[in-house]
Amino acid sequence: MGGFSAINAANGWLIAALGISVVFFGLLSLAFIVSYFPRMIAWWNAHAKAPKYFVPWVKSLISQPLAKPTSSKATVQSVEPGELDDAEEALRLLTAHMGEPFKLPRLIEVAEQRGLARVHSTINGLLIKGTMVGGPDGLFRWAIGSERKSGPQGVEVSRGST
Amino acid sequence: MIPTHELKNYEIFAELDPAELGVLSKMAEVRHAGEGEVLIQAGQPARMLYVLKEGGLMITFPDGRAITFHKPGRVVGWSALVSPTHYTASVTCLTDCDLLAFPGSELLRLVQRNVAAGTKIMRKISEVLSRRLPFLREEDKRRLKGGR
Amino acid sequence: MELLIDFLQNTGFAMADYRNLVMIGVGLIFLYLGIAKHYEPLLLVPIGFGILVGNVPVFKGLGLGIYEKGAVLNYLYFGVSKGIYPPLIFLGIGAMTDFSTLLARPKLVLLGAAAQLGVFLTFLGALFLGFVPREAASIGIIGGADGPTAIFLSAKLAPHLVGPIAIAAYSYMALVPVIQPPIMKLLTSRRERLIKMSDPREVSLQERILFPIAGFLLCCFLAPAALPLLGMLFLGNLLKECLVTDRLARTARTAVVDTVTIILGLTVGASTQADVFLTAKSVGIFILGACSFMVATAGGVIFAKFMNVVSQDKINPLLGAAGVSAVPDSARVVQMVGNAEDPSNYLLMHAMAPNVAGVIGSAIAAGVLWSFIG
């Protein structure tokens, strides 16, 4: 059997209506009682003898002891200034072919293919120095003189330890 | 375990109280990555979220554009917390890096278990995302419209 | 030679027919979705592998199959058929859930209630399609988007449908980020999606301790049939919030829930054998299951819009979709859809309130259906 006759035979309409009503009533009642919690608790705290150690006890459970500090194993290797200048020159030659602005991952890929050593840290050094800058469009270019003085755009530079 | 006072220094965790930082410090792992290492590959399942401690990172998008991070506290791998559950960009280390790694599933459980703490972290991530470069936001929007 | 022939005739290769292969294919799809696509792997991997286990052809009478008395799988399946595992999972869920957003803004509970419309409308739809009332109720509860609740009710009312119902429920829970956003966008305007909600108030520890006790008493006095599920849910939550049983809470939300999830997934998957799953009824179950999720989402969103008409304190109607109790996935979907309109609009925290209310609502709905029809 199917169709509306099946629903009627099984009292489906009544079950569905009662069912959703019970769910609504139950959760509505729950919401109503929960909305009175702050008042109930305030009354209890004001009129009942709350254990005087309750709050400090809870605080002691919640607070966590600080862990022993661990030393960082960071070894950020920087490129020597002389090496950076040489590498900059090589990269400029590459970007002369690629054009500006250029895609940085592509520059890295081409530089590695050409056998340039430590391309990643070289580029990192150039970005921090402000020689190379990233734009808001995700493309990179070489900084002109005035930009280098004012700082790089679109690149976040660490100004010292945290 | 990472000291809680160290976590407090990072913008993403700046608003958490000591108890919440304590929970996070237990789930964090220190990750060292070498220069040139691909930390995150676009398209892979997004399991870990990373906070940069030291070093430089390059985030590469599928169309070849990129941004770089050099400041401690920057977050990568945020896809571990939001849909889709795969990384949408690749992250390569420009230098040897130290990072804090957080399992995305543990952070999501934190949201369920402690809504206040989870909310603070997620809100910070939302702020980070809203400050991102315009072309990235379009990418996010296209992906979000796809629903997954 | 005869021995060799006997042996070969008793291998799975000799006994397999096309239906076993189809179900093994279904199991492999589940494994692919869980492992490669990362769709609810904690559920789909055990279920997918369970389907493989249950569809290896075995010689009946050797005590190997899940339905054979004395078989290991049969003993493990006892927890499903007698409704033991779902309450244990609810214990873990209670121990890992923070109800503070619900306590801070109690009216959002009603969105969890509204989403249960999907349960009852699907119940009517199943009756319409010719399912008997016990089957229709078991199918309807899929709309509650709660796997343990769906398994619990179908084990009580229609045990022969536990497999397809569980698989439908968990499949659609995994697909919540696909199913919900189009419905949410269809039923809301951009202006409504941009509504920002004020931060909820601070909730005290005393409130968080009082809630599971009061909630349990109220809900179970109203719907006693929901006792096994809600009793365990609220116990788990009390263990978490009272702070003096932290070890028990931790065990409940880790070891207990993980152990039960593995066994539940494996046995539910293994119970999904070809002769039960590859039927017209299963197709009906899957269609109705999808409809129930959609109706539940729509019900929650529409009710939220209705609340905005009668109340001055506006809520973002997207929150209605979080009444579908796939925790925390539907809350994340709300966050995602709201964020797409305004990256500074942070809805996840607010969405957790109807999300967890939906868990309570679906358990009450299951209790009501069991008491009416059981």
List the single range of A26-35, B134-143, C164-173, C323-332 with lowest mean pLDDT.
Answer: B134-143
For chain B, say whether C176 makes contact (Cβ under 8 Å).
no
CB C238 within 8 A of CB C213: yes
Give CA–CA dist C263/A30, Å, rounded.
Answer: 34
**C293 burial class (0-12, 13-18, 19+ CB within 10 angstroms)?**
buried
DSSP C328-353: THHHHHHHHHHHHH-TT---HHHHHH
For residue B43, list chain C residues with Cβ-Cβ distance below 8 A. none
- Flag if C128 and A2 touch (Cβ within 8 Å): yes
Report whether pLDDT(A156) > 50: no
Q: Give the chain C residue whose CA is nearest to the CA of B123.
A: C346
Range A96-108 average pLDDT: 88
SS3 B103: strand
Q: What is the pLDDT of residue A70?
A: 43
Q: What is the pLDDT of residue B140?
A: 53
Q: What is the pLDDT of residue C346?
A: 83
- Flag if A66 and B95 touch (Cβ within 8 Å): no
Chains near C (3 or more Cβ pairs under 8 Å):
A, B
Report whether pLDDT(A149) > 50: no
Q: What is the pLDDT of residue A74?
A: 45
Which strand ranges, in their side-by-side order, compose the sheet holding B90-93?
A: B38-40, B90-93, B57-60, B66-69
pLDDT confidence tier of residue A157, bands split at 50, 70 and 90: very low
Q: What percent of chain A has pLDDT over 70?
A: 67
Give CA–CA dist B4/B8, Å, rounded.
Answer: 6
Q: Which residue range(s) make up the domain with B116?
A: 4-146
Q: Give the chain C residue whose CA is nearest to the CA of A31.
A: C106
Look up the ipTM and state it: 0.86
Chains near B (3 or more Cβ pairs under 8 Å):
A, C
Give me the number of domains chain B comprises: 1
Q: What is the CATH number of the domain that holds B31?
A: 2.60.120.10
Report whether pLDDT(A76) > 60: no
Q: What is the pLDDT of residue B84?
A: 54
Q: What is the pLDDT of residue C69?
A: 84
Range B11-26 average pLDDT: 83
Nearest to C223 by CA among C363, C374, C106: C363
Q: What is the pLDDT of residue C92?
A: 93
Looking at the whole model, is its pTM more than 0.80? no
Report whether pLDDT(B28) > 70: yes
SS3 C226: helix
End-to-end CA distance of chain C: 55
Q: What is the pLDDT of residue C251?
A: 93
Nearest to B129 by CA among B140, B118, B120: B140
pLDDT confidence tier of residue A56, bands split at 50, 70 and 90: low
Between C124 and B79, the more confident residue is C124
pLDDT confidence tier of residue A81, bands split at 50, 70 and 90: low
Q: What percent of chain B has pLDDT over 90?
A: 24
Give CA–CA dist A115/A109, Å, rounded.
Answer: 10
What residue ranges of chain C have pLDDT lower than 70?
A: none
- Residue type for position C249: A
Q: What is the pLDDT of residue C348?
A: 85
Give CA–CA dist C152/C228, Å, rounded.
Answer: 9
CA distance to partner chain A, nearest, from residue B135 (Å):
6
Report whether pLDDT(A27) > 60: yes
pLDDT confidence tier of residue A65, bands split at 50, 70 and 90: very low
Structural domain boundaries of chain A?
3-62, 81-150
Q: Give the chain C residue whose CA is nearest to the CA of B118.
A: C349
On average, the pLDDT of chain A sits at: 76
Range B105-120 average pLDDT: 78
Q: What is the pLDDT of residue C76?
A: 93
